[in-house]
Amino acid sequence: MLSLQHVSKYYQVGGNKNFVLNDINLEVDEGEFISIMGPSGSGKSTLLNVIGMLDEPSDGYHYFVGNAVHQLKEKQRSALYKQYIGFVFQAYHLIDELTVYENIETPLIYQDYKSSERKAMVADILDRFQIVGKKDLFPAQLSGGQQQLVGIARALIAKPKLLLADEPTGNLNSKQGEEIMTLFRKLNKEDGVTIIQVTHSEKNAEYGSRIIDLLDGKVSSSRKF
């Protein structure tokens, strides 16, 4: 599904290159559930953002579902993102002024789905996530766990093949965190969604099938279960 070859990302500081990612090689198959771990500042978020085409590497080759991403223009990358990727953030990133229903519907509006299709798709996911009763509430009226559920529903609404999550349980208590990880496992096993998450939690990482450890912008180990 995706391949990074000799991917580096650096920032120029004075005359020096400050490497955040340093010669990353990574192959991800469809159906995998990968956890990226490593200390703060090791490059985890940058790697996830590069994979999701939200951040451009300085160097290297990036292939995603048959496309040479490193050769694409911004507009083409954005189209690929819309078609294949859902992103979940640690701090939810919901729009405060929109209801639960409207937050989840937003990506469908950007993707030009018809109103009747949008209605059916949102109704379906509200039902599936058992949050129908919350649909007219605003994010501030929900617990952290419920807000993250809405964030995940929004990420999944357009049926992405690849779900990227940056510390999805970072702001949640351990029970809420386990519920989100159980949901991820189900999405991966039953719906075949490929998942890559960044996490500090070994326990959460073990819900997946492979752990990639980063250290100073390099892959220091890769562990498979």
For ligand ADP, the binding residue among 22, 42, 194, 209 (CB under 6 A) is 42
Instruction: Give yes or no for residue 22 binding ligand ADP (CB under 6 A).
Output: no
What mask of x and - would describe binding to ligand ADP in positions 119 to 158, judged by CB under 6 A? ----------------------------------------
For ligand ADP, the binding residue among 24, 28, 43, 211 (CB under 6 A) is 43
The amino acid sitting at 28 is: V
For ligand ADP, the binding residue among 2, 4, 7, 20 (CB under 6 A) is 20
> Are 32 and 51 within 8 A, CB to CB?
no
Give the residue with the Cβ less far from ligand ADP, 74 or 97: 74
Residue 147 beta carbon to ligand ADP: minimum distance, rounded to whole angstroms: 16
Q: Total binding residues for ligand ADP by CB under 6 A?
A: 15
Give the residue with the Cβ less far from ligand ADP, 38 or 107: 38
Instruction: Give yes or no for residue 192 binding ligand ADP (CB under 6 A).
Output: no
For ligand ADP, the binding residue among 200, 210, 216, 218 (CB under 6 A) is 200
Instruction: Give yes or no for residue 177 binding ligand ADP (CB under 6 A).
Output: no
CA nearest neighbour of 179 among 125, 127, 130: 130
CA nearest neighbour of 171 among 214, 129, 139: 139
Give the residue with the Cβ less far from ligand ADP, 27 or 56: 56
Give the residue with the Cβ less far from ligand ADP, 119 or 200: 200
Instruction: Give yes or no for residue 39 binding ligand ADP (CB under 6 A).
Output: yes
Residue 48 beta carbon to ligand ADP: minimum distance, rounded to whole angstroms: 8
C-beta neighbour count of 87 within 10 angstroms? 19
Give the residue with the Cβ less far from ligand ADP, 46 or 209: 46
How large is the C-alpha radius of gyration of the chain? 18
Q: Could you list the residues that contact ligand ADP (CB under 6 A)? A: 11, 20, 38-46, 166-167, 170, 200
